[in-house]
Amino acid sequence: MIHVGLLRGINLASKRRVAMADLRAWLTELGYEDVRTLLQSGNVVFRTSKRPSTVRKEMEAALAKGAGFHVDCVLRTAAELRAVVDANPLGDVATDPSRYLVSFLDGPGKWPEVDPAEFEPERVHLAKREAYFWVPGGIQKSKLLAAFPARKGEVATVRNWNTVTKLLAMTEQL
């Protein structure tokens, strides 16, 4: 089975550095096959027959040992990522893929109740384990993103549409 690993909160400025070559080596040592990374922000695609819950535990343990700090990981299978891209609920308004974001949760979403009209022209679409955000003014100035803080015990990580579609393309090349 092909998995996509999304590491949360690494390589932000000079903090919590994880070299992608190291990440590939650690995952290969776990027996994962065809390990490939995208960018320096913790995106990895690989093959393994192990269950996602096992993969997550193994990845987080390998990262803690190798990097020296805990890194939360969110996983999707290639089929799950395909479903995220196929859904594309804001594709009719999201004209800049760098400002079209998907927040990936490790479990079902517990979304805050918001009135989308308060955030126009920003838009949001909430799914079971993903939230899609269109932030035409950029991430830094987004009032909509600020209305969706991480909840205690919840693991989420965000990728822009460019990265999401590139990761899907990588899964299709394996």
Give the tens place of pLDDT for each residue, 50-72: 999 999 999 999 999 999 999 99
Give the tokens for residue 49: 């027959």
Mean pLDDT of the region 33-38: 98
118/167 same-domain check = yes
Q: Mark which of 78, 99, 121 sits at the end of a domain.
A: 78
How many other CB atoms sit within 10 Å of the CB of residue 108?
9
Supply the pTM of this predicted model.
0.95
CA atoms lying within 13 Å on the CB side of residue 12: 6
Q: What is the mean pLDDT of residues 73-99?
A: 98
Shared domain for 87 and 167, answered yes or no, is: yes
Tally of structural domains, the chain: 2
In this structure, what are the phi and psi dihedrals at residue 45, rounded to the nearest 5 degrees?
-120, 140
Q: Where are the beta strands (DSSP E) in 48-152?
A: 73-77, 100-105, 123-126, 130-134
Considering the domain architecture, whether residues 68 and 89 belong to the same structural domain is answered as no
